[in-house]
Amino acid sequence: MRYTDWFEIVDPAFKSLILPNVHVDLLYTGGRWLEGPVYVPAARHLLFSDIPNNRVMRYDDVAGTVAAFEAPSNFANGHTLDREGRVISCEHLTRSVTRREHDGSQTVLADRFNGRRLNSPNDVIADSKGNVWFTDPTYGISTPYEGSLADSEVGYRNVYRLNCNGQLDAVVTDLQQPNGLALSRNEQTLFVVDSGVQPARLMAYKLDPEANLQAGRLFSECSHGMYDGLRVDSAGHIWTSAGDGVHCLDHDGRLIGKILIPETVSNVCFGGLGRNRLYVTATRCLYAVYLNVTGL
């Protein structure tokens, strides 16, 4: 396979984001449905979820090996790092967002809204002010395959923001299945995938100076398969999962190029010591590719 076969250039602007003679590396196969990658620079490893197998896996970036990190994992899905480098997890089974402390213990950050259990937190990000944002669709309670069959207690599928004082606010309440999310470079726009509509949509919400969200606008519709998870690079491009690989969108939501992956992609994240390697969870496999741009 020639390296150019891995990339589809839709707009010439995409050419400057990729490297010549770079291949997409297959790092692992053997999962059932992989999601939720997070790169931990201090440990030089990538954690990612194998949700139906109820385990979190660990890719050792130095040794190049993969082994189970945590099993069972409470059907963990999305992960992120907070400002202190602690890993935050979304757990389908416990219907909670948890944080792994430096001593190894776990703290529950959120498991209820207005006294009712959350559905099944899916994806999570932390901003520079210490707020934790997460989505709460029903994928982890609609089938025992990815969690446990249960009714929604909240009755909605919201996006939440947990502030430093522990206050939990529903900030987006009108999506069918809020899924992946990300903040823009200046943290003034929140991007949220709605994977409960056809085609899947990426919505954008402006934050006003008091950090209140304005009405959402359609930023991009998925042209192949489904959007799930996404990340923003340091130049402001959006790298999002899709059915045929990773789609790269510009500031206006225009598709400028693709990384073609032979399986359905769920999530992506930047990592490596240079933050210039994009890790891609795709169905059974973990892939990675060096890019000519760094993650936020």
Q: Which is nearer to Mg ion, 220 or 276 (CB)?
A: 220
Q: Which is nearer to Mg ion, 194 or 233 (CB)?
A: 194
Compute how many other C-beta atoms are within 10 angstroms of the C-beta atom of residue 33. Answer: 18
Q: Which is nearer to Mg ion, 17 or 268 (CB)?
A: 268
Residue 71: both structure tokens together: 């099993």
The count of residues interacting with Mg ion (CB under 5 A) is 4
Instruction: Pick the piece of the chain touching Mg ion (CB under 5 A) from 16-24, 97-105, 167-175, 226-234.
Output: 226-234
- 146 belongs to the binding site for Mg ion (CB under 5 A): no
Point out which residues pair with 117 in neighbouring strands.
112
Shortest gap between Cβ of 135 and Mg ion (angstroms)?
8
- 179 belongs to the binding site for Mg ion (CB under 5 A): yes
Among 146, 194, 228, 233, binds Mg ion (CB under 5 A): 228
Dihedral in degrees, nearest 10, Cα atoms 182, 185, 187, 192 = -20
Instruction: Pick the piece of the chain touching Mg ion (CB under 5 A) from 157-165, 166-174, 215-223, 228-236.
Output: 228-236
Q: Which is nearer to Mg ion, 98 or 276 (CB)?
A: 98
- 281 belongs to the binding site for Mg ion (CB under 5 A): no
Q: Scan for tokens 């899924």, then name that residue.
A: 179
Nearest to 127 by CA among 88, 69, 174: 88
Q: Which is nearer to Mg ion, 123 or 136 (CB)?
A: 123
The pair phi, psi for residue 17, each rounded to 5°, is -95, -15
The three-class DSSP label of residue 22 is coil
User: For residues 128 and 79, is the Cβ–Cβ distance under 8 A?
Assistant: no
User: For residues 291 and 17, is the Cβ–Cβ distance under 8 A?
Assistant: yes
- 158 belongs to the binding site for Mg ion (CB under 5 A): no
Nearest to 193 by CA among 203, 184, 182, 208: 203
Compute how many other C-beta atoms are within 10 angstroms of the C-beta atom of residue 40. Answer: 17
Binding mask 98-137 for Mg ion (x = CB under 5 A): ------------------------xx--------------
Q: Which is nearer to Mg ion, 14 or 178 (CB)?
A: 178
Residue 271 to residues 22, 89, 268, 275, 296, Cα–Cα distance (Å):
16, 18, 10, 4, 10
Shortest gap between Cβ of 228 and Mg ion (angstroms)?
5
- 61 belongs to the binding site for Mg ion (CB under 5 A): no
Instruction: Pick the piece of the chain touching Mg ion (CB under 5 A) from 6-14, 91-99, 197-205, 220-228.
Output: 220-228
Site for Mg ion, rule CB under 5 A: 122-123, 179, 228
